[in-house]
Amino acid sequence: FWADASRGPSLVFQPGSPNAVIGWRDARDTDPAVTNYPYAFLNPFVPNNKASGYRTALPPTLEPAALNGRAVLDFGAWRSGQWLQITPVENARTIFWVLGSQQGGGLLMGSSAHNLIRGPAPGTPAMDEANVTCDCMIWNAQWSDDAVRLGETFTNGVSVGTGTSTPLNGGYQVIAMRTTAGLKIDGLAKDMRVLPDGHADGVNRSGGQKLAELLIYDDVLTDIEVLQVGTYLATKWGLASGDGSGTGTGGASAALMTLTLREGTELLLGGGEYELGTFGGVGAVSDGTLTVNGIRQVSSENPTAELSLAGPLTVNDSATWHVAVGAGSVVPLRTAGGLTFMGGGTVTITGAAALPDEPALLAEAVDGASLSGFTAGAWTVIADDTGRQMRLVADGNAVYVVPSGRGTVILVR
């Protein structure tokens, strides 16, 4: 499940209330009539009967430009009764939040099958349900499900162990959790469980948070993947890695980030500008501008595989360019927004012996875009092929690597 409050078309508003959100579609779900993505929605028929006095569920409100120019969903104060139900997401294994805890943070996630309760604040022997603040631990060492409290939690890219001894920061931050078993997720900003004395999905256990973006994976992401996704989110929302105040406008250690797309991935950047350390893989990037310090190209046996960008790509001076040649061909980098080189750098080719004795396409500007700033002599090529030399050449709006035999040098006196 992928929910992004800054993607306006994914939000459904209550008639007559321009900021009251009653539906939140998956960011990939362009046609709900024919797709099967999960969906967050207001369920007005579930009573808040844990509190005295009947009260139906209330919608969160949209706060435009609340976080560095992007919109977030505000679920109100703790016990506000504002929450959304989700068509169940099964087997959740890695979860990311861009979350604001200015009003305590609430319960990070709701599940009718699992206990995802927060932990007590320092100096408090037990969880005070009536007073959930940002000082409360992210998870509860005693009551949270084993899949959560025995898993690993990260805040702003830094592991905080189980998260049972770490509070929220009172501002915006990127939180990630990797579970030890699959979870069923079916609620936002509330507890979905049924307790002996009533439903926990009432006003007593709802609200308290601002939510900008949510990603739920059914895969157990690696440490590197957790860092990559977390850095992408921090960069997108203008949060400094390790800070999380939400007041900065810079990236999140973007120059250190390596972003490698898995085959078939489509990354939507929402029109933003991002600077990365290294960018590569197989997949598509749309609606964004990238500046990179390095490129990593891989191989694929799929002849149509490519690393494509709809927007501009700028390669900084002194860049590192790694080309990994495998059983398949090198996946070309194509950009429809123009390809600009600010200088030269070093190209390292591994598995170079697999390259044919002909030019191999590395990168090109397509769809009328242009290549600029490339100077072949500014690039040093290092390859593990002892029988041939490798060099870069530009032809039109494309860059190729060209193998050539070493030949024989005859000295004539």
122-170 tens-digit pLDDT: 777 787 777 888 989 999 999 999 999 999 999 988 888 999 989 998 8
Q: Which residue has the higher pLDDT, 201 or 353?
A: 353
pLDDT band at residue 56 using 50, 70 and 90 as cut-offs = low
Three-class DSSP category at 239: coil
Average pLDDT over residues 1-14: 95
Same-domain pairing of 50 and 129:
yes
d(CA 186, CA 405): 61
Q: Which residue has the higher pLDDT, 270 or 9?
A: 9
Q: Tens of pLDDT along 291-300? A: 998 898 988 8
DSSP collapsed to 3 states, 96-119: EEEEECCCCCCCCCECCCCCCCCC
Please give the DSSP secondary-structure letter assigned to residue 50.
T
User: Is the pLDDT score of 392 beyond 50?
Assistant: yes
Angle at 163 between CA 162 and CA 167, to 5 degrees: 165
- Domain finish residue from 168, 200, 217: 217
Same-domain pairing of 270 and 209:
no
- Domain finish residue from 200, 217, 234: 217
d(CA 339, CA 138): 44
pLDDT value at residue 62: 98
pLDDT value at residue 404: 85
Q: Which residue has the higher pLDDT, 63 or 409?
A: 63
Same-domain pairing of 213 and 333:
no
Report the candidate in 63, 115, 110, 328 with the shortest Cα–Cα distance to residue 216: 110
Q: Tens of pLDDT along 321-364? A: 999 887 678 999 999 999 999 999 999 998 888 898 899 999 99
pLDDT value at residue 159: 87
Predicted TM-score (pTM) of the model is: 0.62
In-domain check, residue 334: yes
Average pLDDT, the chain: 85
Same-domain pairing of 130 and 25:
yes
Same-domain pairing of 212 and 284:
no
Same-domain pairing of 112 and 173:
yes
pLDDT value at residue 321: 94
Taking CA atoms, 335 is separated from 41, 263, 299, 309, in Å, by 37, 17, 18, 5
d(CA 217, CA 93): 6
d(CA 294, CA 173): 27
Same-domain pairing of 155 and 280:
no
Same-domain pairing of 163 and 261:
no
pLDDT band at residue 54 using 50, 70 and 90 as cut-offs = very low
Average pLDDT over residues 192-220: 80
Same-domain pairing of 33 and 101:
yes
Report the candidate in 191, 185, 267 with the shortest Cα–Cα distance to residue 218: 185
Q: How many CA atoms lie within 13 A of 36 on its CB side?
A: 1
pLDDT value at residue 265: 75
In-domain check, residue 410: no
In-domain check, residue 227: no
d(CA 279, CA 259): 5
State residue 230 phi and psi, 5-degree precision: -60, -40
User: Is the pLDDT score of 413 beyond 50?
Assistant: no
Contact 99, 67 (CB under 8 A): no
C-beta atoms surrounding 15 within 10 Å:
7
User: Is the pLDDT score of 253 beyond 50?
Assistant: no
Same-domain pairing of 288 and 201:
no
Average pLDDT over residues 313-327: 89
- Domain finish residue from 198, 217, 236: 217
Report the candidate in 252, 286, 244, 261 with the shortest Cα–Cα distance to residue 98: 244
Same-domain pairing of 6 and 119:
yes
Q: Domain range spanning residue 165?
A: 2-217
Average pLDDT over residues 206-225: 94
Sign of the CA dihedral with 178 first, then 180, 181, and 185 last: negative
pLDDT value at residue 308: 94
Same-domain pairing of 95 and 39:
yes
User: Is the pLDDT score of 365 beyond 90?
Assistant: yes
In-domain check, residue 222: no
Domain count, the chain: 2
In-domain check, residue 233: no
Angle at 97 between CA 28 and CA 177, to 5 degrees: 110
In-domain check, residue 241: no
d(CA 328, CA 305): 10
Contact 337, 369 (CB under 8 A): yes
d(CA 381, CA 40): 51
d(CA 354, CA 363): 19
pLDDT value at residue 270: 63
Average pLDDT over residues 86-111: 95
In-domain check, residue 236: no
In-domain check, residue 157: yes
pLDDT band at residue 200 using 50, 70 and 90 as cut-offs = low
Average pLDDT over residues 24-45: 85
Contact 97, 175 (CB under 8 A): yes
pLDDT value at residue 195: 61
Q: Which residue has the higher pLDDT, 316 or 410?
A: 316
User: Is the pLDDT score of 203 beyond 70?
Assistant: no
Residue that has been written with the tokens 């919109």 in this structure? 71
